[in-house]
Structure 1
Amino acid sequence: MRKISGILLIITLVIFVSGCFEKAEVQIEMQAYIGLTDAERALIPVSPGDSIVAKIIVTEELTSIIGEQYVGEDVYSVTFNQTATDANGDIIVYMALDKRTVLGKGYSTHSLTR
């Protein structure tokens, strides 16, 4: 009985510790937020968490923002809601699959994430 209790305790501790390390990873929305300028950050009314994250395939239309080397590749788009101005749509930050590298920025009026 003690052996089973000890095993259950070890399993519980492993799950708990692995959960702590997982939470320490910075969310993709925050990484994208870090890539914004101060003026772009000022447009976010609530929080960077109020955004839409999508995995997209880079098309020819996005090469001016991201680069030709990514055509056909998967990347993440992080659209910050309620950041549209009279001149532009919502801010979109394109991120590499590592969820840390900012590849480029654009606006929802130029986005193909629909």
Structure 2
Amino acid sequence: MLKTLHRDKGYIHAILKAGYQNHRVFQRKLMIMIDAESLQAVNYMDNQPMLEIYDQFQASDQVTITKEEALGKIKELIEVKPYYVYNFEQKQYVLCGKIDCQHGVNAATGEVISLDDL
């Protein structure tokens, strides 16, 4: 299915995508570069070789916990450190906070895990 048609550096770029795609991360896309004067295809780029790299990965398990429940489990483990960030409009440093956490929640099991163990 034709998604976009636009000009770039003297060429017409046609972006084609399939109607239904089941890839998890990236979607299959074909870009055809067409000479603007002769209307002949001069080159194309297909992202299929890149998608084949991801075929070896297995699909993740079904999510059983909501974002709010996950936050509740690691809320006590979240660290907020003071950081000064330069604000160009005010031309001075402003006190902000850096949020960090060394743990995460497995979305399939709800288990709190250390990021060092991954």
TM-score by length of 2: 0.27
Higher normalized helix content (fraction of residues): 1
- Computing the radius of gyration from Cα coordinates, the structure with the larger value is 2
Q: Which has the higher contact order (CA 8 A, sep 6+)?
A: 1
Higher normalized strand content (fraction of residues): 2
